[in-house]
Structure 1
Amino acid sequence: MLWNRDLFTKVVWRETFRTAAIKYRWPRGRMHALRHFYASTLLARAVSITELADYLGHTDPGFKLRTYTHLVPSSHQRARETVDAVFGRPALDDGLEAA
């Protein structure tokens, strides 16, 4: 049997919601929302935009960058932690203040 998006949503996806006792809400409950969840989760764990584009079947990493970067609010913290890991965290009493 061939599945198109509409048939898959009605027969499989919504049944999955019923089985899990989760209320299906459109558009947040769409199957495409799972794709966004996957992409934002990978980005939050520092998977590169290029890798993500490849995983999702896009040849243009810029499309992913424009679509998903707003979903990664922790990127500044990750950048600070990365630099701290290389150079060590400064002592609290070193006299330097954060900009």
Structure 2
Amino acid sequence: MPLPRRIAQVLREHREEFPPVDVTLPWLKPDGPLVTKRLLFSLPGGGAVRRTDFNTRVWKFALVQAGIIPEPRPGERHQSAREHGMHALRHFYASVLLDSGENIKALSTYLGHGDPGFTLRVYTHLMPSSHERTLRAVDDVYKAADPTVDGPQTAQEG
């Protein structure tokens, strides 16, 4: 996927302050073969950041601080809603690109979907209405075909 300059700069700054860490973990299943990956984001002790831990300890906390979701009662967990999870970031990314006019095939590639049809079915409700664009396009075609006020008809009227 394309990496905007501003995001690349922020990632460079992050790498300078927090260098990537090599982490070796079982792959595909708990007793799977060990695989080493260089992680850009890791725990203070050098381990891998688990999505569920980040979601509950960082992301949901940020949503509470922003007033998007309520703080859970003591001893309870945050609300469990897909729109409050990390998946919402993918949805936001898709909505920004579609609103800017990106096409479904490119978005499908960026999101890692194998089928643009799947992307279309999931995100079609986010696509901006083309009603006004359609009217403008057809109007422009016929506007070009309109006779001008100083054409031959004007000369015959005088």
Q: After TM superposition, is the score higher than 0.5? A: yes
The letter for the 1-side match of 2:87 is H
Question: What is the alpha-carbon distance in structure 2 between the residues aligned to residue 12 and residue 86 of structure 1?
Answer: 51
1:87 is aligned to: 141
Residue 86 of structure 1, CA deviation: 5.4
User: Gaps spanning 5+ residues in structure 2: where?
Assistant: 1-46, 71-78, 145-158
Which structure is higher in RCO with an 8 Å CA cutoff and minimum separation 6? Answer: 1
Greater share of residues in helix: 1
Which deviates more, 20-29 or 5-14?
Answer: 20-29
The structure-2 alpha-carbon separation of the partners of 1:11 and 1:80, relative to structure 1 and needing over 3 Å to count, comes to same
Counterpart of 2:118 in structure 1 is 63
Residue 85 of structure 1 and its aligned partner are, at CA, apart by 8.3
The size of the alignment, in residue pairs, is 89
What pairs up with 1:1-99 in 2 under 5 angstroms?
A: 1-23=47-69, 26-81=81-136, 83=137, 87=141
In structure 1, the gaps of 5 or more residues are 91-99
SS at match of 1:36: helix
Task: Tell me the alpha carbon deviations over residues 19-56 of structure 1, each in whole angstroms, 9 at most, x when there is no partner.
Answer: 33432552321111221122122112210001101111
Q: Which amino acid aligns with 2:109?
A: D
TM norm structure 2: 0.46
**SS of residue matched to 2:84:** coil
How far apart, CA to CA, are the structure 1 residues paired with 2:143 and 2:97? Answer: 26
Structure 1 counterpart of 2:74: none
Q: Which has the larger radius of gyration?
A: 2
Instruction: Specify the alignment match of 1:95 in structure 2.
Output: none
Report percent identity of matched pairs: 44
